[in-house]
Amino acid sequence: MIWINSGCFFGFLSVLLGAFGAHFLKTRLSEYSLGIFQIGTQYQIYHALSLISLGIVCLFNQTNSQTFFSTQLLNSAGYCFVGGIIIFSGSLYALSLLGHKWLGAITPIGGLIFLAGWILFFFSGFLGKRI
């Protein structure tokens, strides 16, 4: 249930930040900075929905008599999605609002964490009956 709640929280925050960017920041940021901000909100909403999906899979896994997915890998994927949102999207928000170029060096770390989450989510189904 924690992943569904986390996904709902990050989804809400993504819509809120997207509206903030579209209405308040549109006249205050350059087109380039606004584009960076929008990429942050896009990836955040994608991974918020992924967290909700992951939470549904976890619930299915708990209510079934057989374990089809590795709970350990599902939880690890969830932590990666949350960490990726914070690092990837968070660094893009900070980069666009503060303009510190060094923040752009942090963004790929968040992207790698997202990728790790997807790999863990993928393998949780293959390894579910074995782990």
- What's the domain count of the chain? 1
In the prediction, which pLDDT does 62 show? 82
d(CA 81, CA 94): 19
For 51-81, the pLDDT digits (tens) are 999 999 999 888 876 677 888 999 999 999 9
Provide the whole-model pTM: 0.92
Domain, as residue range, for 64: 2-127
Number of helices followed by number of strands (H, E) in the chain:
5, 0
